[in-house]
Structure 1
């Protein structure tokens, strides 16, 4: 049985507001028997900041993502200050090679790949996740 441990960044979590069921879609697209979804506490803080913003464009998707996290995602405590989400993801993923990072952030994706971290991204034109 193939288990995939996936570490989600903010951009990946925001996909739920577009109707993407991360659990099902990642399992299917990555050919995993089971997936475990994780995110970092700094990512949750970033989502909370977006959700409480006055932006009509950013707040609703962030609220939807937070609801999804509450029901489907395990949150890893890092103790890292807010605003350092990408740095925390890089640090955590490089120290824990059994995780696959899920991100839509092109810059973060390239940096993680250079460090040898496994990365998955969303291809909106194909409506699927694939290994970057």
Structure 2
């Protein structure tokens, strides 16, 4: 029997395996999807289902903001979605969807000044936990959101 727990966190310490998990390690999402991990029993299927659950949570909750700093740009937030969803997102569409989702983010009134290029507005996590409307993924990984 396998018991799996799903937790989200940022900057986690290196995992320390026990007796039967002596080789515990963090792996990029892409290695989960392409079967690049040599896992026992049905653990690949368990990890695949857990990844899909995280992807669903990003659609209808503001959990992605936990992976950004206290203040962040919409590009920072989009990077979180792209990494977890495994697809490129159109910056303009993403911006529109985030700003139209009530209470998702709040502007700080400040800007991030990059070494080159245009300044970017800074945001912080809004009051909403559930997103309305949700940020839905593209139907296929080849589409752009």
TM (normalized to structure 2)? 0.23
Q: Bigger relative contact order, structure 1 or 2, given CA contacts below 8 A and separation 6+?
A: 1
* TM-score normalized with structure 1 length: 0.25
From the two aligned structures, give the one with the greater helix fraction. Answer: 1
Structure (1 or 2) with the larger CA radius of gyration: 2
